[in-house]
Amino acid sequence: LVVPNHPTIPFIEGDGVGKEIWHAAQTIFDKAVEKAYQGKRSVQWKEVLAGEKSFNANGSWLPQETMDAFKHYLIGIKGPLMTPVGGGIRSLNVALRQELDLYVCLRPVRWFKGVESPLKHPEKVSMTIFRENTEDIYAGIEWQQGTAEAEKFYHFLADQMKVTKVRFPNTSAFGVKPVSIEGSERLIRAAINYALQHKLPSVTLVHKGNIMKFTEGGFKQWGYELAEREFTDVVFTMNQYAKIQKAEGKAAAEQALQVAKSAGKLIIKDVICDAFLQNTLLKPEDYSVVATLNLNGDYVSDQLAAMVGGIGIAPGANINYLTGHAIFEATHGTAPDIAGQNQANPSSLLLSGVMMFEYLGWHEVGQLITNAMESLFQSGKATADLARFMQNGQSLSTTQFTQAVID
């Protein structure tokens, strides 16, 4: 990515608490860039509209100009958007992801000292989730019960029902789960490249291939095949381990694994999703980079976020590594219950900004912001959503928190 010294970056403020957290985040971003580069670099922020603010201004929830700006400038950042209920409008977030084919949902999970966690050892959590963003049951191909389409599907499945002995009445609704080789491979390739670049020890493919053999099982199989084919010299897979074990016994497989580890090879392994969720509570240190399908990824990302302080602090990004397009975003919603009350926690958007600056290669900016947040949390200072769970926590308003980060 070639980044000019004064890039234009489009932003969507967002609905509900969006205005407050965006104002906080932009102020902090500008101060951090100024401190890091003293005017040699700066961001030209360009507001683009979406959501309620856009609808009120021009009658469109997601104007073409907004799409065009994200396409043109490659990188953007956004606050949460209210999904309008009814009127046939699908999630604006999904629309943006589909339009730009942002096939990776990237969610780093780390713990800040001082933030309350349900784990005994939250310091052991350091994971990066690569969630496939375009396929799976989330593709939105489903039919409501009682419609002609559902009826047609019901008859189409009659033979299948005889085979699987699954009985469902013709009042069923149906959904389709498309999982492709190409879609799985580009996601897993991105996860492996990320792990190699950041010198991380493993990539874990999380799936439910024991039950959904061709879709989720396919994801696992294609992942192993891709790793062994494209990254032959730099990875060791648990698929290779299993083959050695079968041919030469467990001791030989263990030895091959140890040799691979001491040679600094990236270990590619897999785990069934329900076991993964248990293990992340019991032995989170076993996981580093995680690659998974869309629906698993949704559950996994929020559970992991809860383990380190909740969605108020969890950052995210949607990325197409082939075109470079990336939108960084707060992972929580519009929090209508606290909107306009100067209480919202801007940390999720701030840390999404940190991811954005890292993506641009402006590492100094990300470091300044995370250092400031780290020292605040350690001294028990945070917005109310976090402070109320901290020992000796001191609740700050959004504006007080912003000023404290800057100070």
Backbone Cα Rg of the chain: 23
Active site residue 274: yes
CA pair distance 12, 78, nearest whole angstrom? 5
80 binds ligand NAD (CB under 6 A): yes
Q: Are strands 142-143 and 315-319 parallel, antiparallel or unpaired?
A: unpaired
> Which of the residues 10 through 39 are near ligand NAD (CB under 6 A)?
17, 21
332 is an interface residue for ligand NAD by CB under 6 A: yes
Tell whether 107 is in a known binding site.
Answer: yes
Binding characters for ligand NAD, 220-259, by CB under 6 A (x = yes)? ----------------------------------------
Q: Is 298 annotated as a binding residue?
A: yes
208 catalytic residue (yes or no): yes
Minimal distance, residue 42 CB to ligand NAD, in Å: 26
What is the spatial distance between Cα 312 and Cα 17, in angstroms, rounded to a whole number? 11
Residues binding ligand NAD: what is the number (CB under 6 A)?
A: 21
| CA distances, 338 to each of 9, 24, 95, 250, 345 (Å) | 28, 16, 26, 56, 10
> x/- string (CB under 6 A) for ligand NAD, residues 91-130?
--x-------------------------------------
Among residue numbers 263 through 322, which ones bind ligand NAD (CB under 6 A)? 311-312
Which strand (E) or helix (H) includes residue 126?
Answer: strand 126-132
CA distance 381 to 372: 11
Within 13 A of 200's CA, how many CA atoms are on the CB side?
21
**Is 138 a residue of the active site?**
yes
Which part of the chain contacts ligand NAD (CB under 6 A), choosing from 79-87, 106-114, 158-166, 249-257? 79-87
86, with CB counted inside 10 A (0-12, 13-18, 19+), is exposed
How close are the terminal C-alpha atoms of the chain, in Å? 32
* Sequence-ordered list of residues with C-beta below 8 angstroms from that of 4, at least 6 positions apart, any chain: none
Say if residue 93 carries a ligand binding annotation.
yes
Minimum CB distance to ligand NAD smaller for 17 or for 49: 17
Q: Which residues sit in the known binding site for Mg(2+)?
A: 298
Q: Which residues sit in the known binding site?
A: 91, 93, 97, 107, 131, 298, 345, 388
Contacting residues toward ligand NAD, per CB under 6 A: 17, 21, 80-83, 93, 311-312, 329, 332-338, 344-345, 348, 385
Active centre residues (catalytic): 138, 208, 274, 298
